[in-house]
Amino acid sequence: MLGLVSDADGAIVAIASAFKLADLMKKGDKIQGDVIITTHICPKAPTKPHKPVPFMDSPVDMYTMVINEVDERMDAILSVDATKGNRVIKVNGFAITPTVLNGWILKVSDDLINIYERVTGHRAYIVPITMQDITPYIDGIYHINSIMQPWIATKSPVVGVAITAEVPVAGCATGATYIKSLEEATRFCIEVAKDYTNGICKFYDEEEYKKIIELYGDMEKLRGKLIFEKRF
C-alpha cells in the first residue's frame, strides 16, 4: 500500500506519547515514575486476509513481536492498536478493554473509566473482548485483532486502547488516519501514565483478584506453552 495505513494508529500514538512526555520533562513537569514505550514500525509490511476487512501483517512473527515489545520492568501495560476492522465496537474515537491479568479478563477499571471520561468529555466506550481474543494469535482462532497479545508475555495487568470507527475500516486502508481519535488516545495514555505513577490509578482490584485465584485458580495455560516456558 502507498502511504500511511490505518494499522499504523498504535505506533502513531506510542510515538506521540513519547514526544509529549519528553516535552513535559524538558519543561520541568516530570511525572513520578518511569514510562517505557515500545512499538513496531515496518515500511514494507504485507497485507493479511481477515474478516470483515483485511489487516496489515508483519514480516516478524507474533511471538517475536510480543517478546520484544513487552519489557519485564513494565508494572502495567496499555496496548494501543487500530481496532476499526470489526463489527462489535463501532464508534468514532477510541475505546478501552477490560483489564487482562494472567489469563483472567477482569472488570473494567473504574480509575481508567474516570480518566477516559475526563479526557473525552463523554461516556467511556468499552471493547467487548472475549476469551478467544486473549489466546495466542498463532492458534488459528478468530481474534478481534492482536491488541491483547502483550498479556501472554507479562505478569502485569494489560489494558487495550483501541482506535475505533463507526464502520469497518481495513487495517491496510490508506487515508484513514483520524487525527482527533489519535489525539484523544494519546492524551489518555499520558494521563494514565501520570496518575498510575502517582499512585492514584489502579488497573484492577488486588483483593478481588486474590479471591478469584483462591476460588478458581489461574488461567496460565492460555499463554501458550512456548511463550510461557521461554518467558517464565
> Which regions of the chain are under pLDDT 70?
225-230
Return d(Cα 94, Cα 124) in angstroms, integer: 9
Is 135 in contact with 96 (CB distance < 8 Å)?
Answer: no
Give every CB contact of residue 187 below 8 A, 6+ residues apart in sequence.
Answer: 119
Q: What is the DSSP letter of 70?
A: S
**pLDDT tens, position by position, 151-177:** 999 999 999 999 999 999 999 999 999
Residue 230: per-residue pLDDT: 66
E strand intervals along the chain: 47-48, 55-56, 77-82, 93-96, 100-101, 104-105, 158-164
Return d(Cα 101, Cα 10) in angstroms, integer: 21
Rg (CA), the chain: 17
Residue 21: per-residue pLDDT: 97
Q: Phi and psi dihedrals of 70, rounded to 5?
A: -95, 115
Residue 166: per-residue pLDDT: 96
Residue 163: per-residue pLDDT: 98
Q: At 123, is the secondary structure helix, strand, or coil?
A: coil
Residue 173: per-residue pLDDT: 94
Residue position matching grid coordinates 491496510:
172
Q: Which three cell numbers stand for residue 89?
A: 465496537
Q: Which helix (H) or strand (E) holds 225?
A: helix 225-231
